[in-house]
Amino acid sequence: MISGSGGGCFSVYAPAAQVVLSGAAQISGPVLGKSITLTGSAAIHQDTSAIGVWAGYFQK
């Protein structure tokens, strides 16, 4: 969980966990989770050139 005004530039790889961003939390990078919940003005910014970063995970 990232809340308030926290955030950063990183990858989140948590296929078995719930990812929660709330408040004004911001992530710049790919996010993979069992579920992803955004509340408030939380946001995920994804570089479209890295769209297939975990493509192999979904091809199992």
Question: In whole angstroms, what is the distance from residue 58 CA to residue 40 CA?
Answer: 29
Say yes or no to pLDDT of 58 above 90: no
- Average pLDDT of the chain is 84
Q: Quick one: CA dihedral 11, 51, 28, 14, positive or negative?
A: negative
pTM of the full structure: 0.73
- Give residue-wise pLDDT tens across range 2-47: 888 888 888 888 989 999 999 998 888 888 899 999 999 999 988 7
Domain boundaries, the chain: 7-55
Q: How many residues does the chain have?
A: 60
Partners of 36 in beta bridges: 19
Output the pLDDT for position 11: 84
